[in-house]
Amino acid sequence: MNLKLRINLIITVLLFLTLIIGGGIFTVHNARGNVQAEIASTAILALHMLDSEILTYSMSYGQRSPVRVGSGSIFQLNKLMDVRHLKIDFYDARGRLRDSNQSGYINDDVPPNWFISMMDAVTDEMPATKRQVYGGGQIIGELVVTPDPSYEIAEVWEEIQGMLIFVGIFFIVVNLLIYYFVGWALRPIDNILEALTDLEFGNLTARLPKFTLPELSSISNKFNIMANTLEESVADNRHLTQQLIKVQEEERKNLARELHDEIGQHLTAIHVDASAILKAKTVKASKESASAIDVVARQMMDIVHNILQRLRPTGLDELGLEAALQELVSGWNQRHREITVNCHTEGMFSDYDEVVLITIYRIIQECLTNVARHAQAKNVHIVLTQQKQKIILSVSDDGQGFDLSIRSSGFGLAGMRERVEILAGKLEIITSPNKGASINIELPCAMRGEK
């Protein structure tokens, strides 16, 4: 069941219960008062009339025909059949029923038993009124006037039936109006679902209009903000992928050039020296060529080691991040004696995900490369700490700094930022001309095996 039908059903049930319960209480309350008032007024009138008849009969008792008296039609109560709210019975001195106003009347419009029981429960019981009839100084009979609400209850039931028809028509009309207006109010939901479907199938340009209802308008604003963020994120990821491909191709190009220029030349030298050994006629000449081959081989080993170190820091797997960083800093200090690099680590990093460790290593490596090329610094401080659920890295120098607004993506900063964003981290660059530079990075902790 969709939301529209569910809301309409709830409103319908509440409206139905309100009309039935409220209308029923109101109708029964009014009917109770009407029944009692109608019976009371009719009883007063009928008793006045009967008292007059009894007095007349008593005064003219000796003049009446015995046959007429014995026939039980002393008061001719059958003429009072229209007095339906009262049951008027005449009993003789022996208690036998002689006359009644309801002897020949049959009520065809009888309400249901449950309605009669309900009205009897809420209507106060009205006692019968008795009048003794005297003739010749003795009691010849008794008139019993009993309130009979059945006819009034039947009239109330007839009125309720008419009211129920009106209420039914009113209920149907109101329900149709509610269904229409609920559908109109929820129409924007179709737009929201359509926009979500567009996003699901890759249409990142889907947007929602501003709706009239404040709540739906707020949803529209949040959706549009989400769609904008998603579109920008996808664009950034696409750009990042392109950058990664570009970096890979550059690395392959550099590796190919290095293999060709360095390794190729050394292999050529080895080939020449090996040929010289084969052609040598003296041991001395062979030793000189062999010695040259040994020197070239050592140079090739250094070149291969540097290439492997650039492709994958071997110490990171064998010794861990702390030792790999110390090895990196030590080698860097030996090659750049004019700059002093200090590295301080605090924490246990052996259990972190491999991607996190490589990212930290590469960022420090890139920072040191930038210092050597551009900073003109004398001191570099590297601080790596573990704080609760994150890793904090700070690389600062006392060099000439730079204008961040001009070189926001130079010096390998774009690559650093991309590496950090891949791990959902944060990167902050603090620098200004002649005041050094500081690279501050915060990475969420990811243990091995976590995603």
More confident residue, 97 or 51: 97
Beta bridge partners of 257: none
Q: What is the reported pLDDT for 440?
A: 94
Distance between CA atoms of residues 197 and 191, nearest Å: 10
pLDDT surpasses 80 at 424: yes
Q: What are the backbone dihedrals phi and psi of residue 180, each rounded to the nearest 5 degrees, phi first?
A: -65, -50
Q: What is the reported pLDDT for 83?
A: 66
Q: Mean pLDDT across the stretch 2-20?
A: 78
Q: What is the reported pLDDT for 264?
A: 84
Least confident window among 27-31, 184-188, 396-400: 27-31
Q: Mean pLDDT across the stretch 385-389?
A: 85
Angle between helices 187-200 and 214-258 (to 10 degrees): 10
The chain-wide mean pLDDT, for the chain, equals 79
More confident residue, 153 or 198: 198
Q: Mean pLDDT across the stretch 270-283?
A: 84
Q: Mean pLDDT across the stretch 249-267?
A: 82
Question: What does the block give as tokens for 135?
Answer: 């003739």
Question: If residue 450 lies in a helix (H) or strand (E), which one and from where to where?
Answer: none
Least confident window among 103-107, 165-169, 283-287, 312-316: 103-107
Tell me which amino acid residue 345 is: T
Least confident window among 49-63, 64-78, 429-443: 64-78
Q: Which residues 6+ apart lie within 8 Å of 152 measured at CB?
A: 34, 35, 38, 39, 85
Angle between helices 214-258 and 283-311 (to 10 degrees): 180
**Most confident option among 35-44, 107-116, 198-207:** 198-207
Could you tell me whether strands 379-387 and 340-346 are parallel, antiparallel, or unpaired per DSSP bridges? parallel
Distance between CA atoms of residues 14 and 267, nearest Å: 93
Distance between CA atoms of residues 286 and 274, nearest Å: 9
Q: Mean pLDDT across the stretch 418-445?
A: 88
Q: Which residues 6+ apart lie within 8 Å of 89 measured at CB?
A: 77, 97, 99, 100, 143, 144, 146
The 379-387 sheet, strands edge to edge: 340-346, 379-387, 390-397, 437-444, 426-431
Banded model confidence at residue 67, pLDDT cuts 50, 70, 90: very low
pLDDT surpasses 60 at 299: yes
Q: What is the reported pLDDT for 304?
A: 83
Q: What is the reported pLDDT for 124?
A: 66
Q: Which residues 6+ apart lie within 8 Å of 154 measured at CB?
A: 107, 109, 110, 111
Question: If residue 139 lies in a helix (H) or strand (E), which one and from where to where?
Answer: strand 138-147
How many Cα atoms are found within 13 Å in the side-chain-facing hemisphere of 149? 26
Q: Mean pLDDT across the stretch 204-211?
A: 87
pLDDT surpasses 80 at 23: no
pLDDT surpasses 70 at 316: yes
SS3 446: coil
Q: What is the reported pLDDT for 71?
A: 47
Sign of the torsion formed by the C-alpha atoms of 46, 50, 53 and 55: negative
Q: How far is CA 357 from the centre of its chain?
A: 38
Q: What are the backbone dihedrals phi and psi of residue 440, each rounded to the nearest 5 degrees, phi first?
A: -115, 125
Banded model confidence at residue 70, pLDDT cuts 50, 70, 90: very low
Least confident window among 27-36, 323-332, 349-358: 27-36
Q: Which residues of 100-134 are buried (b: 16+ CB within 10 A; e: fewer)?
A: bbbeeeeeeeebeeebbebbeeebeebeebebebe
Mind listing the pLDDT tens digit for each residue in 83-99?
666 777 888 878 888 77
Q: Mean pLDDT across the stretch 415-437?
A: 87
- This prediction has a pTM of 0.48
pLDDT surpasses 60 at 204: yes
Residue linked to tokens 């019968």: 128
- Identify the structural domains of the chain with CATH numbers, from first to last: 3-183 (3.30.450), 319-451 (3.30.565.10)
Q: What is the reported pLDDT for 69?
A: 43
